[in-house]
Amino acid sequence: MAAPLRLKATSASPGVATGPAFIAEPLAAAASPPSSLSGHTELSDAIKTAIRELQNLATGADPESSDIVEFQIEVLQDPTLTDMAGARIDAGENIAFAWVGTLDGYIRELECSEEDQMRARAVDILDIKNRVLAVLTGTPLDDFPAGSIYVGKDMEPSRFLAHDWSAGGGIALYAGSAVGHVALLAKSRSIPMVIGAGQFATERGQHIGVDGDSGTVILQTSKGNATPAQFDHPATSSAPAPDNGNLRAADGSQILLSINVNAPDEVDSIIVTTTAGIGLMRSEFAVTSLGDAANEEKQFAIYRRLLDWADGRAVTVRMLDIGGDKPLAGLAEASSLRGIRLLLARPEIARIQARALLRAAIFGNLRIMLPMVTFPSDVDDMRRIYREESSELARRGVPHRIPPIGMMVEIPAAALMLDHFESADFFSFGTNDLAQYLVASAREGADFALYQVRAVPAVLRLLSQAVKLAGSKPLSICGDMASDPSRTADLLAAGIRHFSVAPARLPAIRSAIVGLNADGTKAAGE
């Protein structure tokens, strides 16, 4: 067989994978929001489907279960609910939110009823709310065969998340970005990925390789030699130490090491005692559709699961950072607004997440982080939402707690004015967006990787100024720079004492920290 052909690309996530190529179609544009006419039809179709599902459930069920199901079917057939949701659709609300908003009002009424029997009905209504919601939003993305090498111009984060990576596989992009969200996900799940390979010729099913260590695509690999002697594979790093992420730099200073998490199941393979907890959970990667955004119970279960895993350690959940390069299909505002601006413009989304977080907070050491904050009033406005939702939960007798509320520092205007953010309980530096907005280059743009390297001195100067402005408030860094051991000394010198990194980078950052003094200088004998 001829020697394999190596194409030079750029590494976006280390590791090596081989498998049959899956050639992706170019990405389709996000669906535009439905018109109000199709909104009515879509809702009544979803209700009909839910009724059919319930009828199937009722067939052959015991009398008690079929009574409950019959009651649910009667509720779904009640035109009052459809009319109320229809009025919200006419007023411009998205269908899923119109449905959830209507049903939530009904559930609240039942929960506050004086009669036990009425209160007990609330859970049945919650069930049908979620059943119709699942039909409305349950359009799974086209998946690709497990174990394949995904080949395409780009990849959507939701496609990455929907895929089962347990059988291995990798990603080879013609274009793409090393600091884009798919690269972040690939790094945190240890999926080999290269970008910038240019359009290369391969066929669906042809066996190819991705070498994320050297940044190459290998064509013409044979199925038989899938563990490639062809790849220069560096020794894998040793397992992290069970030090609870509580480290001492060479001069004895205390440094904390946490992890960044994107989807809840990522923590399953991480030993909790190797971390100080979760410094950043990007909730937008676990809440990937409008249906999820409208689904308080699903979100509650996700946050609760992370808190259970953390066993008392901090779990910092960032509110949905949707918009911009992280669109949410069907949400028109996501093309012009991002992060907290979008959440404040669409408070019904923020309120559902706030309730799920408030309820989860009683199960552990939760911290809520706000994305893309620019002004102190952003934090004040969101705090007001939390206070209002807390009062509402209290009125309904639902156990909850308002945990600390902090913010990402990822917009230069906020970093420069950090001493004005009295109402934020803690700060975390997002160097990915900070670098982007400092050099005025789109994060997914081809030139950004280059600009990002050249922006490092400016980012570091801004960080060390902001550290001083933060005063005594807890401060960490969760941007990609924290996961790069060649930057650890600079970040320590800037005054950072808490690093939140991609799980795969724990060993590398741990060994960088212990070999340095807290001012970033090398330990004696290093």
Restricted to residues 290-329, the positions that interact with ligand PEP (CB under 6 A) are 321
Q: Which tokens sit at 60?
A: 């052959």
The residue (of 296 and 433) whose beta carbon lies closer to Mg ion is: 433
From the list 156, 211, 292, 410, which residue makes contact with ligand PEP (rule: CB under 6 A)? 410
> Are 494 and 460 spatial neighbours (Cβ–Cβ below 8 Å)?
yes
**Secondary structure of residue 7 in the 3-state scheme:** strand
Residue 279 near Mg ion by CB under 5 A: no
Count of CB atoms situated within 10 Å of the CB of 27:
12
Residue 434 CB, nearest distance to Mg ion (Å)?
A: 8
Which x/- pattern, by CB under 5 A, does the window 284-323 give for Mg ion?
----------------------------------------
Residue 179 CB, nearest distance to ligand PEP (Å)?
A: 8
DSSP E strands in 283-404: the ranges are: 314-318, 365-370
DSSP readout, 25-66? PPPPPPPPPPPHHHHHHHHHHHHHHHHHHHHHHHTT--HHHH
| CA dihedral (81, 83, 85, 87) positive or negative | negative
Residue 96 near ligand PEP by CB under 6 A: no
> Are 122 and 110 spatial neighbours (Cβ–Cβ below 8 Å)?
yes
Length of the chain equals: 526
Residue 466 CB, nearest distance to ligand PEP (Å)?
A: 13
Count, residues near ligand PEP per rule CB under 6 A? 11
Residue 110 CB, nearest distance to ligand PEP (Å)?
A: 38
Q: Which residue has the tokens 């390297």?
A: 453
- How many CA atoms lie within 13 Å of 66's alpha carbon, on the beta-carbon side? 8
Residue 506 CB, nearest distance to ligand PEP (Å)?
A: 17
From the list 93, 266, 284, 410, which residue makes contact with Mg ion (rule: CB under 5 A)? 410
Restricted to residues 160-219, the positions that interact with ligand PEP (CB under 6 A) are 184
The DSSP letter of residue 320 is P
Restricted to residues 470-489, the positions that interact with ligand PEP (CB under 6 A) are 478-479
Residue 338 near ligand PEP by CB under 6 A: no
479 binds, among ligand PEP, Mg ion, none (CB under 5 to 8 A by kind): ligand PEP
From the list 102, 432, 452, 483, which residue makes contact with ligand PEP (rule: CB under 6 A)? 432
The residue (of 171 and 438) whose beta carbon lies closer to ligand PEP is: 438
CA 497 to chain centre: 24
What Cα–Cα distance (Å) separates residue 184 from each residue in 264, 308, 431, 481, 482?
Answer: 15, 24, 13, 12, 13
Residue 282 near ligand PEP by CB under 6 A: yes
From the list 292, 333, 433, 444, which residue makes contact with ligand PEP (rule: CB under 6 A)? 433
d(CA 392, CA 395) in angstroms, rounded, equals 5
Nearest CA-CA partner of 194 in 159, 250, 154: 154
Count, residues near Mg ion per rule CB under 5 A? 3
**Which residues of the chain form contacts with Mg ion (CB under 5 A)?**
410, 430, 433
**Which residues of the chain form contacts with ligand PEP (CB under 6 A)?**
184, 280, 282, 321, 410, 430-433, 478-479
